A and B are shown apart, each in its own frame.
Chain A
């Protein structure tokens, strides 16, 4: 049985905004699955539907075989969530926040005490846990929230942009924590993010979501492989579509070429980088910078979520 099964799941808010448009995906037990997309792509709405705080308007979603719409209590029993924003009782101590979660998820008090002790040590905030959360830094609060989500030993953990707004050091530390969770093969993690390095580092598979639709779903390696081994990047000083048209006529650029501002990114696939550079020089394109490099997940993401120029050229 899959840990998560999403079939034609959709959400249209009152007023007609289609946040999620009939998406399908499955997540295997123990898998770390990334939902990657720009702001407003539908990531948080998808997590909201899976955690039963947003009602789907179409399709179905199952957590560990439980339909989230028909049996929301049972679905919530097997899952925990770390929210995008800080969602804690600031007037209470960290320990009290953890205890409340344990009680609501029906963890025996004695087990809860042991689990909380283990988690606060592992996440490195044992010295803070008996202080009011109001005095915690952003990173400490995040660690508390991750610990809280783990107190009930969920089969499914939802991490909704867990590192947004954190400084780089704290973000790196938290990524280390989340990477540590991967070693627990019994827990499935669904992570939403718009940080590509996070997705690449943490996820077994990634779904790229754009305008409410999944536009790609595969392993990070397979997504990268779709762009070939090398990328030609040009910063064009003139008209971008004209430059692209010339590159396509010369056989350098394909349909998967994309532009961000004045920068054209051309996956070369089987073409050689030196040949492509020579072609650019021969064409006499007005550029301020030209070079080749290895493709990154950023390129996959930008190609799928940014403006494609294939039609424009």
Chain B
């Protein structure tokens, strides 16, 4: 062992990098950790892809529905993919806390909210990648979408805001539960149950009385209605929620709901993280 004092000639560090630099560093770190955990990338894709490529065509054939139903379900599976992926991303927060470098990051001279935002950026990037795979696979399977430029904007806005909100849910939960096991036990109730009620496989009008009102409150219902409006030019989901004449107004209202969901859950997740990080 050599003596540190004798051998290490250390230059004085220069300070003053741009303020976004820590966020980029934190996001890069999270991305590198995620890339080394392939299950985080692949597992959330499996169920939605199976629904889009296997179950939807099978239902179409069995129930003698038209080709539109395949497209309807293919977009419905986006409502499963986003929650599953963001909830998986939340697991990384617990791993970081229990076995990773979270405490080192908490001792760093950066606002602690950036830790949450860095994780969020990566969760969004991975979600975007998975959405591209899902849509690409659906197109390859012959499922048809009819999207204009404006429609794509509606779809992207709805998917982005819903993913932000769902990551807020995941981050909040990850900082509230002490163990991975407890976190995983809650995933079905948060990521899967609402999917069955939000008009993913059938319109919410078909739900029993009372449950349709519950469906209208779910951000996922609004998100899916917007995504179908964007990529399928199908406003029936928006009508089922709002029952108004102006489609644009209904779309704007649903977007406002999803935006509020994203804003509130992001704020809550940052607050919960910073409070749980400092005892």
Bound pair: A and B? yes
Which residues A174-189 have CB closer than 8 A to chain B? 176-177, 180-184
Is the beta-carbon distance between B2 and A52 smaller than 8 angstroms? Answer: no
Does B203 make an interface contact (CB < 8 A)? Answer: no
The interface residues of chain B lying within 8 Å CB-to-CB of A90 are 99-100
Is the beta-carbon distance between A87 and B108 smaller than 8 angstroms? Answer: no
The interface residues of chain B lying within 8 Å CB-to-CB of A124 are 1-2
Least CB distance from B86 to A in Å reads 20
Does B4 make an interface contact (CB < 8 A)? Answer: yes
Least CB distance from A204 to B in Å reads 16
Chain B positions within 8 Å of A, measured between CB atoms, are 1-17, 21-22, 25-26, 29, 32-33, 36-37, 99-111, 277-279
Q: In the docked arrangement, what's the CA distance between A106 and B15, Å?
A: 5
Which residues A53-95 have CB closer than 8 A to chain B? 53-55, 73-74, 76-77, 79-81, 83, 87-92
Does A268 make an interface contact (CB < 8 A)? Answer: no
Is the beta-carbon distance between B1 and A121 smaller than 8 angstroms? Answer: no
Is the beta-carbon distance between B107 and A51 smaller than 8 angstroms? Answer: yes
Is the beta-carbon distance between B104 and A115 smaller than 8 angstroms? Answer: no
Number of A-B contacts (CB under 8 A): 139
When the two chains form the complex, which single residue of B8, B11, B105, B107 contacts A121, counting CB atoms closer than 8 Å?
A: B8
Check A148/B104 contact, CB under 8 A, given A48-B279, A107-B13: yes
Check A89/B100 contact, CB under 8 A, given A73-B109, A107-B13, A122-B7: yes
Which residues A127-146 have CB closer than 8 A to chain B? none
Closest Cβ neighbor of A185 among chain B residues: B5
Interface size on A, residues (CB 8 A): 54
Closest Cβ neighbor of B110 among chain A residues: A104
When the two chains form the complex, which single residue of B12, B100, B101, B279 contacts A54, counting CB atoms closer than 8 Å?
A: B279
The interface residues of chain B lying within 8 Å CB-to-CB of A114 are 10-11
Least CB distance from B2 to A in Å reads 6
Is the beta-carbon distance between A150 and B10 smaller than 8 angstroms? Answer: yes
Q: Could you name 19 residue pairs across A and B whose Cβ atoms are closer than 8 Å?
A: A51-B107, A52-B278, A73-B110, A88-B104, A89-B33, A89-B100, A90-B99, A104-B26, A106-B21, A111-B11, A111-B12, A111-B14, A114-B10, A115-B11, A118-B8, A122-B3, A124-B1, A181-B5, A183-B3
The interface residues of chain B lying within 8 Å CB-to-CB of A88 are 100-101, 104
The interface residues of chain A lying within 8 Å CB-to-CB of B104 are 81, 83, 87-88, 101, 148
Check A104/B108 contact, CB under 8 A, given A92-B32, A115-B13, A153-B12: yes
Least CB distance from B216 to A in Å reads 39
Is the beta-carbon distance between A180 and B14 smaller than 8 angstroms? Answer: no
When the two chains form the complex, which single residue of B8, B26, B29, B105 contacts A122, counting CB atoms closer than 8 Å?
A: B8
The interface residues of chain B lying within 8 Å CB-to-CB of A173 are 1
Check A106/B109 contact, CB under 8 A, given A91-B36, A153-B13: yes
Least CB distance from A151 to B in Å reads 8
Least CB distance from A103 to B in Å reads 4
When the two chains form the complex, which single residue of B26, B109, B279 contacts A74, counting CB atoms closer than 8 Å?
A: B109
When the two chains form the complex, which single residue of B11, B17, B111 contacts A73, counting CB atoms closer than 8 Å?
A: B111
Which label, helix, strand, loop or mixed, suits the secondary structure of the B interface? loop
| Extra A-B contacts (9), CB below 8 Å, given A89-B29, A118-B7, A122-B7 | A53-B107, A73-B110, A88-B100, A105-B109, A106-B21, A111-B11, A121-B8, A176-B1, A183-B5
Q: In the docked arrangement, what's the CA distance between A105 and B17, Å?
A: 10
The interface residues of chain A lying within 8 Å CB-to-CB of B15 are 106-107
Is the beta-carbon distance between A104 and B33 smaller than 8 angstroms? Answer: no
Does A119 make an interface contact (CB < 8 A)? Answer: yes
Closest Cβ neighbor of B34 among chain A residues: A91
The interface residues of chain B lying within 8 Å CB-to-CB of A83 are 103-104
Least CB distance from B206 to A in Å reads 46
Q: In the docked arrangement, what's the CA distance between A180 and B25, Å?
A: 31
Closest Cβ neighbor of B4 among chain A residues: A180
Q: In the docked arrangement, what's the CA distance between A178 and B231, Å?
A: 62
Closest Cβ neighbor of A152 among chain B residues: B13
Which residues A96-112 have CB closer than 8 A to chain B? 96-97, 100-108, 111-112
Closest Cβ neighbor of A154 among chain B residues: B13
Check A104/B25 contact, CB under 8 A, given A83-B103, A92-B32, A114-B11: yes
Is the beta-carbon distance between B13 and A121 smaller than 8 angstroms? Answer: no
Q: In the docked arrangement, what's the CA distance between A183 and B9, Å?
A: 12
Q: In the docked arrangement, what's the CA distance between A80 and B105, Å?
A: 11
Least CB distance from B177 to A in Å reads 18
Is the beta-carbon distance between A122 and B2 smaller than 8 angstroms? Answer: yes
Least CB distance from B214 to A in Å reads 36
Least CB distance from B25 to A in Å reads 4
Q: In the docked arrangement, what's the CA distance between A77 and B22, Å?
A: 13
When the two chains form the complex, which single residue of B1, B4, B33, B108 contacts A181, counting CB atoms closer than 8 Å?
A: B4
Q: In the docked arrangement, what's the CA distance between A52 and B106, Å?
A: 8
Is the beta-carbon distance between B25 and A53 smaller than 8 angstroms? Answer: no
Check A89/B107 contact, CB under 8 A, given A104-B22, A122-B4: no
When the two chains form the complex, which single residue of A80, A106, A183 contacts B107, counting CB atoms closer than 8 Å?
A: A80
